């Protein structure tokens, strides 16, 4: 039996979104407000609170990197989500190694198994807490041992592992 709850509680009932590290220039930000946008052209989108340094930097540079961390990198993910790039250089603070991309000038993260280079093609700004940048994936760098099994999800103050694959019967 379902009970009526307020819309904010409804929002928190969503299972979870993939955790990514958004890089722009030399800054790193943790985000779960990250989504697919389109297969052709291949675009993803990331939602940023306008007061963040990352918002300023993406607005200016028109590009961003997406690095997908592993669950065992949670400590670094937490650090990048709690420190502001206005106060500290997060590469220095976390010990992560900056990696040069092929297309964008913003740095990527060597230690993450996946890095995507994205150029901003559109902005979605209708007010609200977040503004979204749609980025076309221009290049991808993937570790040969990468498996999505070790990825991280986040929502409603909970980090989770990605769960096991459910086999689907072919009928």
User: The tokens of 57 are what?
Assistant: 């930097």
Indicate which single residue of 25, 27, 29, 37 sits in contact with its own copies (rule: CB under 8 A): 37
With respect to its own copies, which residue has the nearer C-beta, 95 or 128? 128
Tokens 């389109």 belong to which residue?
38
String of contacts with its own copies for each residue 50-69, x by CB under 8 A = ------------------x-
151 contacts 165 by C-beta, under 8 angstroms: no
- Cα separation of 121 and 133, whole Å? 8
Structure tokens at 157: 């103050």
Binding mask 115-154 for its own copies (x = CB under 8 A): xx----xx-x-xxxxx-x-x-xxxxxxxxx-x-x--xxx-
The answer to whether 42 contacts its own copies (rule: CB under 8 A) is: yes
Per-residue contact string for residues 68-87; x = within reach of its own copies by CB under 8 A = x--x--x---x---------
Nearest approach in angstroms of CB 26 to its own copies is 19
User: Side-chain half-sphere of 27: how many Cα atoms within 13 Å?
Assistant: 22
Q: Please report where in the chains the tokens 């930097």 appear, as a residue.
A: 57
């Amino acid at each position: 039996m379902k009970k009526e709850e307020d819309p904010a509680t409804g929002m928190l009932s969503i299972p979870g979104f993939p955790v990514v590290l958004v890089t722009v220039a030399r800054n790193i930000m943790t985000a779960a407000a990250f989504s697919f946008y389109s297969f052709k052209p291949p675009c993803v989108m990331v939602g940023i609170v306008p007061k963040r340094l990352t918002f300023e930097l993406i607005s200016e540079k028109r590009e961003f990197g997406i690095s997908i961390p592993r669950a065992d990198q949670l400590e670094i993910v937490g650090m990048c989500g709690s420190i502001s790039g206005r106060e500290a250089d997060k590469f220095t603070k976390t010990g992560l190694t900056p990696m040069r991309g092929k297309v964008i000038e913003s740095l990527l993260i060597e230690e993450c198994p996946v890095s995507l280079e994205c150029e901003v093609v559109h902005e979605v700004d209708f007010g609200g807490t977040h503004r979204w940048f749609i980025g076309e994936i221009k290049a991808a760098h993937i570790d040969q041992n990468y498996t999505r099994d070790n990825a991280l999800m986040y929502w409603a103050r909970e980090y989770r592992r990605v769960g096991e694959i459910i086999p689907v019967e072919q009928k």
